[in-house]
Amino acid sequence: MAEDHEDPREVPWHPRLADRVLGHDGARALFDAALASGKPHHAWLISGPRGIGKATLAYKLASALLAQTTPAQTAQWISARAHPDLFVLERSLNDSKPRRLRGEIAVEDSRRLGEFFARTSGSGGWRVAIIDAVDDLSSESGNALLKLVEEPPPKSIIFLVCHLPGRSLRTLRSRCLKLPLQPLSDTDTESVLRALHLDPAPDEAELERAVRQSAGSPGRAIDLMSSTGAKAFDLFLRRPNGSEAERLAIANHFSARQQSQGDFLVFTDLLLGWLARAALAQPESAAGNRLSRLHQELSERRRIVEGYNLDRRMAVIEALGQVQDALKAA
C-alpha cells in the first residue's frame, strides 16, 4: 500500500522515465526543424486523447533542449526530478491525511513557475517548463500562466500538454504553436506496453484485449488490463444480441455497488464509444439516428446513476436491453 505522502502518479512507467517515444515522428520532426532554425517558438500545445504519449513527448523534447548544455547529466536529472532548468507544473498534493491530489493546479504553483523563469539558467542554456496538463488549470492559475506565455523570458520554452484543447483558454491556445498527436496503432500500443515490464505481467489474452479496447492509448490500456468493466464489455462484444441469460451474466459483474463504481464507468465508456462508432458508420440513416439518440440517452442515464449512486447492475441490464432493441430495429 502506498504511504500517505506518496504521489499516485509515481509509477515505473511515468512519462519522464520512458526510453523512447513511439508513433509521433511527425510532431517530433516539426519541433526539431523549429529548433534547428535557431528561433523556435516559445510555447507548444501538445494535444490529443489521454494516454497516447503527450507528456512522454514533452519530456523528450525538454531533454533534447537541456542536453545541449548538460549532455551527460540531463537524462539522470530529469528522471530524478532534479534538473535545475526544468519546471513541471502539475496538480500538487493537498495537506489532508492521507494526502490526495488536488482537483486542479493551484494558482500558487503557477506563480512558482513565474519565479522559476525569473531566475538565470543554471547551465547558461534553455529554461524549460512542462504544463501537465492545461486541462487541470483553474481560472486563476490559467491567467497566471497566460502572462508568461504572452511575455516569455528569453531562452525559454513551455510545453503545454492538453487533452481537450476546446476547453482550454482560447487566449492561451492562440499564443501556442500546435502539436496535435494522433492515437497510436495497435502495433505501437502493444510495443509500448511490452516495453514497460508491467508487474504482474499480463497474460497474452489480457494484453490483446487491452490493446484492442484502448483506441490507441497505452495509458488507457494499462487501466483496462485489470478492469472488470473491460472484461464485461468484451463479453458484450462477443454477443451484442445475446440472450437474457448472457445479459444477466454481464450485469452480474456490477453487483457490489462500491466495488463496481470504477468498473461501471469503464464499461459504460466503452459501450458509449462503441455506440458512437456504430452511429457514425450509418450517417443520415434511420438506424444511425436511432443509435445516436440511444448514445445520448445512455450518457444521461449514466450521469444520473453516478449522481444518485443507483444500482449499477440494474443500470447495465437496462442499457444492454436498450442496445439490443436498437440493433434489432436497425
Q: Is there a contact between 219 and 189 (Cβ–Cβ < 8 Å)?
A: no
Same-domain check for residues 171 and 307:
no
Same-domain check for residues 176 and 77:
yes
Quote the CA–CA distance of 70 and 82 in Å, as a whole number: 13
Position 198 scores a pLDDT of 87
Same-domain check for residues 80 and 174:
yes
- Radius of gyration (Cα) for the chain, nearest Å? 22
Beta bridge partner(s), residue 130: 88, 159
Per-residue pLDDT tens, the chain, 330 aa: give them: 344 457 888 999 999 999 999 999 999 999 999 999 988 999 999 999 999 999 999 999 999 999 999 899 999 999 999 999 999 999 999 888 788 899 999 999 999 999 999 998 888 899 999 999 999 999 999 999 998 999 988 999 999 999 998 887 888 999 999 999 999 999 999 999 999 888 888 899 999 999 999 999 999 999 999 899 999 999 999 999 999 999 999 999 998 766 678 899 999 999 999 999 999 999 889 889 999 999 999 999 999 999 999 999 999 999 999 999 998 876
Same-domain check for residues 310 and 176:
no
Q: Does residue 115 lie within any of the structural domains?
A: yes
Q: Does residue 194 lie within any of the structural domains?
A: no
Of 151, 180, 209, the residue at which a domain comes to its end is 180
Question: What global pTM score does this model have?
Answer: 0.89
CATH number of the domain where residue 107 is located: 3.40.50.300
Q: What is the DSSP letter of 49?
A: S
| Count of C-beta atoms within a 10 Å radius of residue 234 | 17
For residue 290 the three cell numbers come to 436511432
Q: Does residue 186 lie within any of the structural domains?
A: no
Close Cβ partners of 204 (under 8 Å, ≥ 6 residues apart)? none
What element of type H or E holds 87? strand 86-89
Smallest CA-to-CA distance from 216 within 247, 184, 188 is with 184
Q: Does residue 301 lie within any of the structural domains?
A: yes
Of 180, 196, 211, the residue at which a domain comes to its end is 180
Same-domain check for residues 146 and 48:
yes
Q: Does residue 175 lie within any of the structural domains?
A: yes
Same-domain check for residues 47 and 159:
yes
Same-domain check for residues 144 and 46:
yes
Same-domain check for residues 172 and 303:
no
* Count of domains for the chain: 2
Upstream peptide bond of 240 is cis (omega within 30 degrees of 0): no
Close Cβ partners of 160 (under 8 Å, ≥ 6 residues apart)? 43, 44, 45, 46, 131, 133, 134, 172, 176
Same-domain check for residues 106 and 22:
yes
* Chain centroid offset of residue 48 CA: 8
Same-domain check for residues 313 and 231:
yes
Q: Does residue 187 lie within any of the structural domains?
A: no
| Count of C-beta atoms within a 10 Å radius of residue 136 | 20
Q: Does residue 65 lie within any of the structural domains?
A: yes
For residue 18 the three cell numbers come to 520512458
Residue 311 lies in domain: 227-329
| Count of C-beta atoms within a 10 Å radius of residue 17 | 15
Q: Does residue 216 lie within any of the structural domains?
A: no
Q: Is there a contact between 159 and 180 (Cβ–Cβ < 8 Å)?
A: no
Of 148, 180, 212, the residue at which a domain comes to its end is 180
Q: Is there a contact between 157 and 130 (Cβ–Cβ < 8 Å)?
A: no
Sign of the C-alpha dihedral computed for residues 194, 134, 114 and 32 taken in this order: positive
Dmax (CA) of the chain: 69
Same-domain check for residues 20 and 139:
yes
Smallest CA-to-CA distance from 78 within 105, 58, 93, 102 is with 58
Same-domain check for residues 30 and 176:
yes
